[in-house]
Structure 1
Amino acid sequence: MTVDNGVRVVAGCMVLLSVVLTWWVHPAFVWLTVFVGLNLIQSAFSGFCPAAMILRRLGCHD
């Protein structure tokens, strides 16, 4: 799996997890979705993505 695809998988899973937690646990978990969205936006402009760094260390290729 490429790093780009891995980042999309991680972001998608985090958004789905946030929706589930918001629905069944507490409405404040919607802020997890906000965090993921903001992180995706800042990584598009800055090129810095913590998820990509972690995925590279786990063996994903560019």
Structure 2
Amino acid sequence: MYNRIAHAFAGILILSSISLTYASDNKNWLWITAFVGANLLQNSMSNWCLLHQILYKLGIKDTESSCKR
């Protein structure tokens, strides 16, 4: 469950960042995309995800996650 939520959250942030950049003509919104990309890269190397920690502390049950807590 955590993986689906994390992937959906990353996708929403990336698409929102790109949309806000286009709508406002302000390239600073692309820093969100860079941050998400850096976190995805970090997760691929360490198998650790901050969002998984947050979801765990919020009490959301994990049924299929492969990331470490």
Equivalent in the alignment of 2:66: none
Aligned Cα root-mean-square deviation (Å): 1.3
Identity of aligned residues (%): 31
| Number of residue pairs aligned between Structure 1 and Structure 2 | 61
Shift, 1:11, TM fit? 0.3
| CA distance in structure 1 between the aligned counterparts of 2:12 and 2:22, rounded to whole angstroms | 15
Counterpart-to-counterpart distance in 1, 2:37 and 2:61: 22
**Structure with the greater alpha carbon radius of gyration:** 2
Tell me how far 1:49 sits from its aligned partner.
1.1
Q: State the distance in 1 between where 2:56 and 2:8 align.
A: 14
For 1:40 and 1:60, the matched residues in 2 are separated by: 22
Give the alignment of 1:1-62 within 5 angstroms: 2-25=1-24, 26-58=26-58, 59-62=60-63
Higher-helix-fraction structure: 1
Q: Which runs of 5+ in 2 are unaligned?
A: 64-69
Task: Flag as ranges the 4+ runs of structure 1 deviating above 4 A.
Answer: none
